[in-house]
Amino acid sequence: MSGSQRQSRFERGEDVVVMKFGGTSVEDAAAIRRLVGIVESRLGAQPVLIISALAKVTDQLLEAGNAAAKGHLGSALAIVRNIYVRHEDLADSLLSASAHGSLDRELRGELQALESLLHELETSRHFDLKAQDRLLSFGECFSSRLVSWALCEAGLQAAHVDARNCVVTDARHGQASPLWDVTNQRLRDALNPLLQSGSVPVLGGFIASTIDGVPTTLGRGGSDFSAAIVGAAVGASRVEIWTDVDGVMTTDPKVCSDARVIRKLSFDEAADLAHFGAKVLHPATLAPAMRENIPVYVLNSRHPEGHGTEITARASTGNRVSAITAKRNVVSLEIQSRRGVDAALLNTVFGVLEQHTCAVDVMGTSIDRISLLVGSNVALPKIVEDLRQVADVCWENHKALVCLVGENIRRQPEVASQLFATVSDMDVRVLCQGASERTLSFLVDESRAEESVRRLHSVFFPKLEPARDWGGISSAFCEAG
Ligand code: ASP
Ligand code: MG
């Protein structure tokens, strides 16, 4: 990108902050009021908002699509009516009568298009990824319009921008990738004039379209990615991901109640975490932020005063291990060559996986063997059948890949030996040293995944001693005793 094209930090030399609000941060009237307050606190910079569908709406739309395609039009229509009514009720509690009227006209237009799509699905009995993208995009259309009006109601100059006109992708429906040059250009064309006039642009996350205007989506959880795409296009000084947890945690707090917030992470560590199953960020999110060196913050919209997690190019937690993840539903594939591994076998293996769109999580090769870990996939029996044409194949499912992530983890052999000592009795199958310098992972039965995470967490993140009250002599006495 040339310097003149870039116009970073925006033309007026002011800071742009891209703020993404996830589904739970817009789920009800209280959440949207909090959102308005958070945006007001950022008016010293120029906010650009990326809004997810209200919590659960994307799943409900999927359900409606599936129902319609099975011929259950009545229940499909009931689901989308409920979605519409939910937005209407929110409009009712958040907006004045005239704003409510304007929003209602917009929402009714969307609802009509949504209903006719369901009719189409009922007739065709065919619900492919292309139709799915069209359908799911309504969730973000509804929510972003609602939030935009809620901001106006609070006296902010908000402007709704249809992300489908700006974010341009390939046609890989369900998981599309941006075409960067046209996306950057269109985003700048749409957003720069608004920013110049002091408006707060509000875009739906997750949604995009092909160059021909066919709706696409960026994959589930893709609003994070939208935020980074927009941040990179306008040269934002930061991207904020507002969610319902205090930041990226050392491990899943549902598995381990001692999990705590990681204050700082590097882009690389965060990308590894996302790749190895941490749910906090959409895995593709960090690439544009990394490329443009834009810090990303993960923050809790219920506790906006918290520090959250800061993700930057260079960061050190000072810990040997930054986080522990577990990826479930992993399948191990052992491919034994009948005559030594050669490039042709590797090519065939990757060809077969590609053909069935099966991504590889970890791979290891030896003289005559290829070990692969892949996500569980309905096409696996077919994949194995194809591979058996050229090699002997064993596979096992219901595995979990447990992973320790930390800068330089590989340069600290004591981490690996502690890991071994901690889980040595657990039938740990493979210790994987993938290409990344920052991860150390192993395969274990899914049923043992949680226990291994808990054990490792207590070793690498020992419980912080609660602050003691030394005020009274009796407690000191008890301690001494
Ligand atoms: N609404 C979409 C989903 O539920 C995208 C997102 O929330 O990031 O996956
Ligand atoms: Mg998310």
CB 210 less than 6 A from any atom of ligand 1: no
Domains present along the chain, CATH in parentheses: 12-244 (3.40.1160.10), 323-460 (3.30.2130.10)
> For the chain, what is the radius of gyration of the CA atoms?
25
Q: Residue type at 207? A: I
pLDDT at 431 over 70: no
| Amino acid type, 280 | V
pLDDT at 433: 62
**From ligand 1's centre to the CA of 387, what distance in Å?**
35
Quote the ligand 2 centre to 223 CA distance (angstroms). 7
Å from CA of 252 to ligand 1 middle:
20
| Whether the predicted pLDDT of 481 surpasses 80 | no
**What is the value of pTM for the model shown?**
0.86
Is residue 135 within a helix (H) or strand (E), and if so which, with residue range?
Answer: helix 129-153
Report the pLDDT value the prediction gives residue 469, as an integer from 0 to 100.
47
Q: CB–CB of 265/402 below 8 Å?
A: no
Flag whether pLDDT at 317 surpasses 80.
no
102-121: string of b/e by CB count within 10 Å (b at 16+)?
ebbebbeebbeebbebbeeb
Element (DSSP H or E) covering residue 230: helix 223-234
Quick check: CB of 220 below 6 Å from ligand 1? yes
User: CA-CA distance, 362 to 401, in Å (whole number)?
Assistant: 9
| Cα 304 to averaged position of ligand 1 atoms, centre (Å) | 21
- DSSP character at residue 197: T
Q: Which ligand is nearest to the CA of 279?
A: 2
Question: Looking at the predicted structure, is the pLDDT value of residue 92 above 50?
Answer: yes
- Distance (angstroms) between ligand 1 centre and the Cα of 418 equals 38
Mean pLDDT, to the nearest integer, of 116-124?
97
In short, whether 285's Cβ falls inside 6 Å of ligand 1 is no
CA of 23 to the centre of ligand 2 (A): 8
Q: Which of 26, 58, 301 to mutate to test the pocket of ligand 1 (most atoms within 8 A of CB)?
A: 58
CA of 419 from ligand 2 middle (Å) equals 30
205 ligand 1 Cβ < 6 A = yes
Is pLDDT above 90 for 238?
yes
Tens digits of residue pLDDT in 260-277: 999 999 998 998 888 887
| Closest C-alpha among 313, 336, 309, 333 to residue 323 | 309
Q: How far apart are CA 370 and CA 346, in angstroms?
A: 8
- pLDDT at residue 473 in the model: 36
Question: Which pLDDT band holds residue 159 (cuts at 50, 70, 90)?
Answer: very high
Our answer on whether the CB atom of 300 is closer than 6 Å to any ligand 1 atom is no
Nearest to 369 by CA among 393, 400, 348, 398: 393
Query: Does the pLDDT value for residue 8 go beyond 80?
Result: no
- The token pair that represents 287 in the structure block: 């690439």
- Please report, for the chain, how many H helices and E strands are present, in that order: 15, 17
112-117: average pLDDT: 97
Indicate whether 4 pLDDT > 50.
Answer: no
How many beta carbons lie within 10 A of that of residue 463, not counting itself?
A: 8
Mean pLDDT taken over the chain: 89
Which ligand minimizes its atom distance to the CA of 222?
1
Q: Write the CB contacts of 351 (distance below 8 Å, at least 6 apart in sequence).
A: none
Instruction: Please compute the mean of the pLDDT values over residues 292-311 and round it to a whole number.
Output: 95
Please say if the pLDDT value at position 111 is more than 60.
Answer: yes
Q: What pLDDT shows up at residue 463?
A: 82
Answer whether 277 contacts ligand 1 (Cβ < 6 A): no
CA distance 274 to 428: 23
Euclidean distance between CA atoms 446 and 373, whole angstroms = 14
CA of 194 to the centre of ligand 2 (A): 27
In eight-state DSSP terms, residue 374 is E
Residue nearest ligand 1's atom 6 by CA: 221
Atom of ligand 1 at shortest range from CA of 226: 8
The pLDDT confidence band at residue 368, using thresholds 50, 70 and 90, is: confident
What CA–CA distances, in Å, run from 454 to 142, 188, 254, 461? 41, 46, 11, 10
Average confidence (pLDDT) over 53-62? 98
Give the whole-angstrom CA distance, residue 157 versus residue 181: 29
In this prediction, what percent of the chain has a pLDDT beyond 70?
91
Three-state DSSP state, 187: helix
At residue 239 the predicted structure's pLDDT band, cuts being 50, 70 and 90, is: very high
Counting every residue written for the chain, the total comes to 481
Ligand number nearest CA of 278 is 2
pLDDT at site 3: 41
Which neighbouring-strand residues pair with 403? 325, 441
- Looking from the CA of residue 22, the nearest atom of ligand 1 is 7
Q: For residue 32, is pLDDT > 50?
A: yes
Residue 413 has pLDDT above 90, yes or no: no
C-alpha distances in Å from residue 394, one per residue of 301, 319, 391: 47, 38, 10
Per-residue pLDDT tens over the stretch 337-355: 888 767 788 888 999 998 8
Task: Place 379 in a pLDDT band, splitting at 50, 70 and 90.
Answer: confident
- Crossing angle of the two packed helices 343-355 and 380-387, in degrees rounded to 10: 150
Q: What is the pLDDT of residue 54?
A: 98
pLDDT at residue 326, rounded to an integer: 92
pLDDT in the model for residue 279 = 78
* Mean pLDDT computed over 145-152: 98
The number of the ligand 1 atom at minimal distance from the alpha carbon of 224 is 8
Verify whether ligand 1 is closer than 6 Å to residue 23 (CB atom).
yes
In this prediction, residue 479 has a pLDDT band, given cuts at 50, 70 and 90, of very low
Q: Is 21 in the pocket of ligand 1 (CB under 6 A)?
A: no
